[in-house]
Amino acid sequence: MIASKKKLVVDNIIHTIFLILTIICSLSIVLIVTITFLKGTRPFLVPYNDGVKASLVSFLFSLHYVKGVYGALGVAINTIVIVFFAALIALPLSVLTALFIVRIAPKLLGQIIQIVVELLAAVPSIIFGLFGMGVINPIVRDLAFVFGLQTAGGVSTLSVILVLVIMITPTITTLSISAMQAVAPDQINASLALGATMTQTNFKVVIVGAKSGIFAALILGVGRALGEATAVSMVCGGATSVSLGIFSPTSTLTSTMMQGIHESAGLNYDIRFSLGIVLIVIILVSNALLNAVKKRISRHEI
């Protein structure tokens, strides 16, 4: 009886701790979003010391982000295009790497590769940025030269895409491994018993069985790519409008928010929070769309 009461007390304490932590995390998110919204709307509502306030129409529909215009549409388009192609490249790389680790590689080799992938997922953004500056930019510059094109030392849309691919591939791979390991062995054995080859089983049973988890991994990878600022800023070139080619300098919402901050007040500072609102909206919309697709995948409608 006493032991049961002790267990009940411990359960209540643990429940209370988790509840408090959940409330703290939720309030932190609400506080961040609220501050971002309040400061992000200020440039369009309140004149600053020089009597100037930003134009909401220019902000939403202008393709050029320059002082006095602050158009978010151009950098938003750049962001969506870059993340789309980064995810398009990273997804098959991640799935095939996870499949090799789980189903093809010898156990020891698979474990070693998995450890390396997990370590890469934990590498700070600045390291990827330095790698992009020192390795990817020169490669892109030489590639552009082969096609007879000019690029500003390699800083370009292609460089940003490649850096993001390298960054999000370990994240998607790690979660895809867990999804593939969760596929029931009975399904695999049944496929082999029915005469399917190992390759057919891997692609039509293992990957298909893990597709919901793989798509969840993609959602997290896209979220990381959308929110990346440091590494992107180091290889994008800081363009002020829509990038028209893969070898042209570019910019994203996060890199624009990060670059050129020289003060902690004023219109040029507060407008960064306005870009943050646009980024939050893009993240919410992309997550909603991807989760809707994920639910259809879970119900085997896709």
Model confidence at 160, pLDDT cuts 50, 70, 90, reads: very high
Taking the C-alpha atoms of residue 159 and residue 170, their distance in angstroms, rounded to an integer, is: 18
Domain 72-298 has CATH 3.30.1330.60: no
> How would residue 109 be classed by pLDDT, with cut points 50, 70 and 90?
very high
179-185 LR contacts (CB < 8 Å, sep 24+)? 179/98, 179/210, 179/212, 179/213, 179/214, 179/216, 179/217, 180/98, 180/99, 180/102, 180/103, 180/206, 180/207, 180/209, 180/210, 180/213, 181/102, 182/210, 182/213, 183/209, 183/210, 184/209
Bridge-partner residues for 250, per DSSP? 237
Residue-wise pLDDT for 162-214, tens only, equals 999 999 999 999 999 999 999 888 998 898 888 888 989 999 999 988 888 89
In the numeric block, which tokens belong to residue 11?
């359960």
**Per-residue confidence band for 1, with pLDDT thresholds at 50, 70 and 90:** low
Structure tokens given for 145: 């030269």
**Alpha-carbon gap, residue 245 to 231, rounded angstroms:** 20
Distance, in Å, from the CA atom of 198 to the CA atom of 87, rounded to the nearest integer, reads 28
- Report the mean per-residue pLDDT for the chain: 88
Alpha helical stretches, state H, 125-245: 125-131, 137-146, 157-181, 185-193, 198-201, 207-209, 211-227, 230-235
Q: What average pLDDT score do residues 13-19 get? A: 91
pLDDT at 301: 54
Nearest-angstrom CA–CA distance, 86 and 64 = 24
Beta bridge partner(s), residue 152: 155
Given this model, what pLDDT does residue 6 score? Answer: 73
- Mean pLDDT, residues 277-288 taken together: 92
pLDDT at 196: 87
Task: Please tell me the predicted confidence (pLDDT) of residue 298.
Answer: 73
| pLDDT tens track for 43-70 | 888 887 766 778 888 888 888 888 778 8
Q: Is the pTM of this model over 0.85?
A: yes
